[in-house]
Amino acid sequence: MPKVFIPKERLAGETRVAATPDTIRRMGKLGLAVTIEAGAGIGSSIEDHQYSDAGATVGSNIEQLYAEADIVLKFHPPDKHNDMPKHEVALLKQGATLISFLWPWKHGETIQQLAAKGVTSFAMDQIPRISRAQKMDALTSQTNLAGYKAVMLAAHYLPKLFPLMMTAAGTISPARVVVLGAGVAGLQAIATAKRLGAVVEVSDIRPAVKEQVESLGGRFIEVESDSSMEDAGGYAKEVSKEFLAKQQAVVAEHIAAADVVITTALVPGKPAPRLIPAETVRKMQHGSVIVDLAAEQGGNCELTKSGEVIQDSSVTIVGLENLASLVPYDASQVYARNVLAVVEHLFADGKANFDFSDEINAGAIVTFSGKVRKEVS
């Protein structure tokens, strides 16, 4: 019977976990024996006894738990942590399967170590955007939650209300929100801000998203472009400096009038595009707020400091990373279901299926049989 292990996430500030009691029950039905590290679910409000009630074994000897595991389910790429005896790659069993976010373009050395250890690594961030893989799409599930949380943070820091209010003392005008980027996070931010009663304007390099923006009640900021700015997977492409300058000029006027700006623009495998220069920030209204969801990749705002909330010229700039981890209960629930879908795909009958004629495997398996696969390296 293959053994599955779910370790506690050790990245600073991380609260999520890769399995829930429900997904553990379902893995049991696949003929998998599941072990989880003690305390792994505490940050997501899941206690050890809930896992054991679902059929998991709860353990604390980290070296033994890794050494015995045929399959390891994680959130973040393997790393070396102060409370662990070795790097997580060194702890993995020779030939084990790892299912996790890996970001191979950022963690090349770790990927090489996984290959040398004979680990089959399935990257949750490399899953192709096809209908058959929707249940596995952890990027979408997590960025969706980040878009929601970005609006909640903006409402927290903004010294104004979001909705229009008619009171005996007079009318309170609604907040004006500008969202940069209408991908998954941006669309959720639009919907959430509209539900709170804000007036929402949206900019994106892809004209094709205009209809989606308007269906959610947002106003699309027109910047002349063409459909070639969207890649085959539906993600935004990296654009020219000339187009970026033109977009900044058009959007700057809307930003200057905004109470809140939420930036979500990312290009896979590239630094975040700079959409808000310092001079634009300094033209914004007193007390306005920028929430930069691209902070971890350098930020869409020139002044963003990754992992920090700062003020510049009376504008609050929120550069907190990993916003989905601020809603850990639901973030863990959806991520665990994404991971379960991968487990069901790879181990449908309790045995490994690494058929590379399958589009999902070809796209998401980064290391296999001692090699880094060129297709996704």
Question: 273, 212, 219: which is closest to 246 by C-alpha?
Answer: 273
Question: 261, 247, 248, 250: which is closest to 178 by C-alpha?
Answer: 261
Looking at the fold, whether 346 and 298 belong to one and the same domain comes out as no
What backbone torsions phi and psi does residue 364 show, to the nearest 5 degrees? -110, -20
Which pLDDT score, from 0 to 100, does residue 350 have?
74
> Mean pLDDT, to the nearest integer, of 38-43?
97
Instruction: Give the other-Cβ count within 10 Å of 351's Cβ.
Output: 9
Which pLDDT score, from 0 to 100, does residue 351 have?
80
- Is 133 inside any structural domain? no
Mean per-residue pLDDT over the chain, rounded:
92
Looking at the fold, whether 67 and 191 belong to one and the same domain comes out as no
- Is 30 inside any structural domain? yes
Looking at the fold, whether 186 and 307 belong to one and the same domain comes out as yes
pLDDT above 70 for 148:
yes
Looking at the fold, whether 221 and 241 belong to one and the same domain comes out as yes
Looking at the fold, whether 151 and 118 belong to one and the same domain comes out as no
- Is 376 inside any structural domain? no
- Name the domain count of the chain: 2
pLDDT in tens, 186-238: 999 999 999 999 999 999 988 889 999 999 999 999 876 654 555 555 555 56
> Mean pLDDT, to the nearest integer, of 340-345?
97
Looking at the fold, whether 298 and 333 belong to one and the same domain comes out as no
Which pLDDT score, from 0 to 100, does residue 52 have?
98
- The two tokens of residue 51 are 């896992």
Residue 121: in which H helix or E strand, if any? strand 120-123
Which pLDDT score, from 0 to 100, does residue 105 have?
85
pLDDT in tens, 47-102: 999 999 999 999 999 999 999 999 999 999 999 988 888 999 999 999 999 999 99
- Percent helix, strand and coil across the chain, each to the nearest 5: 40, 20, 45
Which pLDDT score, from 0 to 100, does residue 229 have?
53
pLDDT above 50 for 377:
no
Looking at the fold, whether 312 and 333 belong to one and the same domain comes out as no
Looking at the fold, whether 161 and 281 belong to one and the same domain comes out as yes
Question: 65, 57, 3: which is closest to 30 by C-alpha?
Answer: 3
Looking at the fold, whether 270 and 362 belong to one and the same domain comes out as no
Looking at the fold, whether 21 and 80 belong to one and the same domain comes out as yes
- The two tokens of residue 261 are 């700006």
Residues above pLDDT 70, as percent of the chain: 94
- Is 374 inside any structural domain? no
CB 321 within 8 A of CB 296: yes
pLDDT in tens, 254-299: 999 999 999 999 887 788 889 999 999 999 999 999 999 999 889 9
- Is 375 inside any structural domain? no
Residues 69, 90, 136, 215: is their CA dihedral positive or negative? positive
Question: 288, 209, 210: which is closest to 255 by C-alpha?
Answer: 288
Backbone angle region of 167, left / alpha / beta, with phi > 0 → left and psi within -120 to 50 → alpha: beta
Question: 280, 292, 285: which is closest to 318 by C-alpha?
Answer: 292
- Is 303 inside any structural domain? yes
CB 124 within 8 A of CB 138: yes
- The range of the structural domain enclosing residue 333 comes to 3-126+328-368
Looking at the fold, whether 289 and 356 belong to one and the same domain comes out as no
Looking at the fold, whether 98 and 195 belong to one and the same domain comes out as no
- Is 135 inside any structural domain? no
- Is 137 inside any structural domain? no
pLDDT in tens, 149-179: 999 999 999 999 999 999 999 999 999 999 9
CATH assignment at residue 17: 3.40.50.720
